[in-house]
Amino acid sequence: MSEVHELKLLWPNEDATLDFAQKLALEPGLSNACVALVGDLGAGKTTFVRALLRALGVSGTIKSPTYALLESYQLERLGQKWEISHMDFYRFTDPSQWEESGFRDVFVSAGLKLYEWPEKVASLLPKADLEIMIQVSADGSREVTLRYNPLTFLFDKCAGQVTK
Ligand code: ADP
Ligand code: MG
């Protein structure tokens, strides 16, 4: 079992969020990854997912899954169908709701899983391959901590990198 790597980034504005989303979109390990997005309301989790989906080639409206809990997308990657699931667990008050809503099926299926508020159902989720923690600074910039499996993601030379 490999250790978790940590990388700190600074996103001064939304353009920096977009830049990182474009970088992540190129990571080959993304195809079946579990990507957890952690941060307060308004931190920029959905903004980031939107930017990533756009970078991957999703066109049309990208809705926040705040109410529907799950928004699904189908793309093609390397000639194969590719399923992407964007979830938001904010409204869960009891982990049993997660089971009842059928999310276990999403997590055992192939595809990219992007999910906001993992802490609401923490014990039920598999270990994330990548956790993106976003904190808003007093000046509105975002301090971002990536925790990732180095066998899945490389993150070579990230713009806005604070420390290694
Ligand atoms: P969350 O999903 O975390 O609740 P949203 O992405 O819905 O947050 O909203 C974040 C808000 O912050 C949006 O108004 C967006 O324009 C803004 N925002 C997102 N990322 C950044 C950033 N890197 N710098 C400045 N503002 C940002
Ligand atoms: Mg959100």
d(CA 15, CA 3): 31
Ligand 1 centroid, distance to 42 Cα (angstroms): 5
CA-nearest residue for atom 14, ligand 1, is 42
* Helix-strand-coil split of the chain, %, nearest 5: 30, 30, 40
Whole-structure pTM value: 0.95
Ligand 1 centroid, distance to 17 Cα (angstroms): 9
Pocket test for ligand 1, best of 35, 47, 69, 117 (most atoms within 8 A of CB): 47
pLDDT one-digit tens code per residue, 70-106 = 999 999 988 899 999 999 999 998 888 888 889 999 9
Residue 95: its H or E element: helix 95-100
The ligand whose atoms approach the alpha carbon of 144 most closely is 1
Ligand 2 centroid, distance to 1 Cα (angstroms): 32
Domain boundaries, given as residue ranges, for the chain: 5-151
CATH architecture group of domain 5-151 = 3-Layer(aba) Sandwich (3.40)
